Structure 1
Amino acid sequence: MIPTPEHNERMAKMTFASVYPHYVTKVEKKERTKDELHQVINWLTGFDDDKIQSLVNEGVTFEEFFAQAKLHPNAEMITGTICGYKIQEIDNPLTKQVRYLDKLVDELAKGKKMEKIMRDT
Structure 2
Amino acid sequence: MKFASVYPLYVQKAERRKRTKEEVDRIICWLTGYGPAELRNQIENESDMETFFAQAPSFNPKASLVKGVVCVVRVEEVEDPLMRKIRCLDKLVDELAKGKALDKILRK
TM (norm. structure 2) is 0.96
Whole-angstrom CA distance in 2 between matches of 1:114 and 1:57: 26
Question: Aligned runs of 1:5-16 on 2, under 5 Å?
Answer: 14-16=1-3
Q: What's the CA shift for 1:88?
A: 0.9
For residue 59 of structure 1, what is the aligned residue in structure 2?
Answer: 46
Sequence identity of aligned pairs in percent?
46
Q: Counterpart of 2:79 in 1: which secondary structure?
A: coil
Give the conservation status (yes or no) of the 8 Å contact 1:38–1:48: no
**Paired letter, 2:6:** V
Q: How many residues matched?
A: 107
Question: Aligned runs of 1:1-121 on 2, under 5 Å?
Answer: 14-69=1-56, 70-120=58-108
TM (norm. structure 1) is 0.86
Larger radius of gyration: 1
Q: Counterpart of 1:71 in 2: which secondary structure?
A: coil
The list of structure 1 runs, each at least 4 consecutive aligned residues, that deviate by more than 2 angstroms after superposition, is none
**Paired letter, 1:33:** T
Structure 2: which 5+ runs fail to align? none
RMSD: 0.7
Structure 1: which 5+ runs fail to align? 1-13
